[in-house]
Amino acid sequence: MAVVIGNKTQANPTPGANNSQVSHTQNTGSDGLLIASFIMANNRNFTSATYGGQAMTQVFARNLSGSSQRLILYVLENPPTGSNTLRINFNNAVWNPISIYACSFTGAQAGGNTINLAGSATPKTSTISVSDGSVVYSFGLSTNVITSIEIPQGNARPAEFTHNTNRQVRGGLSNGTLAAGTYTIEHNCATGGITMSTYEIQEKSGGGGGGATTNDFFLVM
């Protein structure tokens, strides 16, 4: 079964507590997968995330002190379908706006390749090897506005989300599924360096071919 990109949720609440939650609708279909990114100032820590009361698994966490941003990615295989509460917990009350981005998939599985890369160059590039039928999710953090993401290089993608008025964090998805191979991912900003992370959403083992498409975009200010 091919990976299909499903519902997306974006929000930027100001928690005023040690947790924040939004409603997200997981698509029906076999081999469901949910990814969720959370971004906030780095004076607090993320402690856990749940969806529909089920614990999510942390994939990675990134921190860029120059822009005072902290980002974490969670994933949940076979999440409950329909509308459920997505909740993120902190080690203390958070009083500044945070950004939440969630995306559902069917025909997918966790455990794909992950690339984390920091440095001073711009444009910033990294390579990731993917299995046939995978979707790629990538985001960057910078001390300056991130102007574009190319997934893969040469294929500019609309922003799935940005964070804060300076847009120092930006995320994007590949335009549907990719053939097996090694791809270059490029992030661009006017000046300064970019810390970037890329995650492969794999087709469920034993699935068939095909592709997913999405041209939606979201901006979180």
Residue 90 has a pLDDT of 95
For residue 217, is it within any domain? Answer: no
Expressed as residue numbers, the domain containing 105 is 4-203
Q: Which residue has the higher pLDDT, 175 or 41?
A: 175
Closest by CA position to 180, among listed 150, 203, 207, 161: 203
Stronger pLDDT, 60 or 207, i.e. the higher one: 60
Mean residue pLDDT across the chain: 86
Query: Quick one: pLDDT at residue 218?
Result: 37
Q: Is residue 221 part of a domain?
A: no
Compute the distance between CA of residue 48 and CA of residue 74 in angstroms, rounded to an integer: 9
In a domain, 211, yes or no: no
Higher-pLDDT residue of 70, 166 = 70
Task: Give the DSSP letter string of 158-195.
Answer: --SEEETTTT-EEEEE-SS-B-SEEEEEEEEESSS-EE
Number of domains comprising the chain:
1
Assess if residue 130 is contained within a domain: yes
Neighbour order of strands in the sheet with 69-77: 4-11, 99-106, 33-41, 69-77, 57-64
Q: Looking at the domain assignment, is residue 213 inside a domain?
A: no
175 located within any domain: yes
Mean pLDDT, residues 155-177: 83
d(CA 186, CA 203): 23
Residue 134 carries which DSSP code? B
Residue 103 lies in a domain: yes
Residue 62 within a domain: yes
- Residue 3 confidence (pLDDT): 96
d(CA 62, CA 82): 30
- pTM score over 0.85: yes
